C-alpha cells in the first residue's frame, strides 16, 4: 500500500479499520512520512497498542490461576468476594461468579481501581457472560448481632449456595468459608484471580445501587454519595438526624455519646 498518496484522513480511517498485522506491515512507510498528521497517527496507534498489550498481559495473569485449576480437573470455579465491610450503614454484600473457560475481560481489575461507570459496564458484561452468578446481602441488624466478620462470611456462603450451577472449587478473597467444597483463600484475591475480581465488581455495584435506592428513603443522609461510609458529611447527618434502621449500632456506639445522637 502506497500511503504517501493517501490523505491524512484516509490513513486514519484505514488504520482504524485494518487488522493489526496490516498496520504493522505499513509502519515502516508511515514512520518515514514527514506529514505532522501522519506522525501523530502513528504515535497514537503505538500508544493504543501498548495499552492493549498491558491489558492483555494483566488479563493473562488474572486468569492463570483458573487455568491451572482446570488443568487439575476442576470445571466450575467460583470466585467470591464481599463489599461493604467498613461502612457505618448498610449491608455487607457478597457475590459469587463462575466464569466460562473461553472468556476475555481485559478491563477487569480490582473494583476499587475502576471508575463507577466502568464497574457498571463490566457488571453487565459479567452477568451476560458468566456461567452463573449470585449476590447475597446481610443487613445491619445481623451485622450488629454476629459482628461484621461473621456477617461477611455468611454473605459469602449464601452467595455460593445461591449459584444455579454448583462449583467444584471456590476461590475466596482473604477468607475461608464453611463449605464442603475445595477452596483456596487468597490475600488481595481481586488482584490475583479473574473470578474473584468479577465477584468484587458485582458485590460493589449491587451494594452501591442499593445504597442509592436507600438515599431516596433517607435523603438527608447522602447515602448516594458516600454509600454509608464514615465521611464527614455522614457523621454530621448522624449528629443532626440520628440513626436509621440501616445504621450499624456496633460501629457507632462508643464513637458518639448518647447525648450526641438524636434518637429515632
Which domains, and CATH codes, for the chain? 3-61 (no CATH), 74-208 (3.30.420.10), 215-260 (no CATH)
| 133 to 65, 122, 159, 179, 229: CA distances (angstroms) | 19, 14, 8, 17, 26
Q: Please give the grid coordinates belonging to residue 75.
A: 470445571
Residue 173 marked in a binding site: yes
Q: What is the pLDDT of residues 35-79, one digit of tens each?
A: 999 999 999 999 998 888 888 999 999 999 999 999 999 999 999
- According to the model, what pLDDT value does residue 2 have? 76
Q: How many CB atoms lie within 10 A of CB 182?
A: 13
Q: Cα–Cα distance between 154 and 139 in angstroms, integer?
A: 11
Q: Please give the grid coordinates belonging to residue 166.
A: 454448583
- According to the model, what pLDDT value does residue 55 have? 87
* Largest CA-CA distance found in the chain, in angstroms, rounded: 81
CB-based burial label for 12 (10 Å; 0-12, 13-18, 19+): middle
Q: Please give the grid coordinates belonging to residue 194.
A: 479473574
- According to the model, what pLDDT value does residue 256 have? 58
Give the chain's residues under pLDDT 70: 1, 254-264
Residue 81 marked in a binding site: yes
- According to the model, what pLDDT value does residue 261 have? 44
- According to the model, what pLDDT value does residue 262 have? 43
Closest CA to 123 of 100, 97, 101, 146: 97
Q: Cα–Cα distance between 262 and 264 in angstroms, integer?
A: 7
Amino acid at each position: 500500500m502506497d500511503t504517501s498518496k493517501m490523505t491524512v484522513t484516509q490513513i486514519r480511517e484505514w488504520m482504524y479499520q485494518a487488522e493489526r498485522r496490516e498496520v504493522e506491515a505499513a509502519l515502516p512507510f508511515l514512520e518515514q512520512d514527514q506529514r505532522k498528521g501522519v506522525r501523530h497517527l502513528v504515535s497514537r496507534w503505538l500508544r493504543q497498542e501498548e495499552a492493549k498489550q498491558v491489558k492483555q498481559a494483566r488479563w493473562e495473569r488474572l486468569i492463570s490461576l483458573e487455568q491451572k485449576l482446570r488443568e487439575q480437573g476442576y470445571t466450575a470455579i467460583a470466585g467470591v468476594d464481599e463489599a461493604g465491610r467498613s461502612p457505618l450503614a448498610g449491608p455487607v454484600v457478597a457475590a459469587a461468579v463462575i466464569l466460562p473457560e473461553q472468556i476475555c475481560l481485559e478491563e477487569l481489575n480490582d473494583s476499587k481501581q475502576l471508575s463507577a461507570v466502568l464497574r457498571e459496564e463490566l457488571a453487565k458484561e459479567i452477568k451476560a457472560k458468566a456461567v452463573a452468578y449470585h449476590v447475597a446481602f446481610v443487613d445491619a441488624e445481623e451485622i450488629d448481632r454476629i459482628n461484621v466478620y461473621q456477617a461477611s462470611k455468611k454473605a459469602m456462603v449464601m452467595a455460593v449456595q445461591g449459584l444455579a450451577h454448583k462449583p467444584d472449587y471456590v476461590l475466596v478473597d482473604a477468607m475461608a468459608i464453611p463449605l464442603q467444597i475445595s477452596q483456596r483463600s487468597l490475600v488481595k484475591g481481586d488482584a490475583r484471580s479473574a473470578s474473584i475480581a468479577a465477584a468484587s465488581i458485582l458485590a460493589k455495584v449491587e451494594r452501591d445501587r442499593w445504597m442509592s435506592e436507600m438515599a431516596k428513603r433517607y435523603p438527608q443522609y447522602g447515602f448516594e454519595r458516600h454509600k454509608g461510609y464514615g465521611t464527614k458529611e455522614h457523621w454530621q447527618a448522624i449528629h443532626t438526624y440520628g440513626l436509621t434502621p440501616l445504621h450499624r449500632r456496633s460501629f457507632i456506639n462508643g464513637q458518639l455519646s448518647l447525648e450526641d445522637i438524636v434518637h429515632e
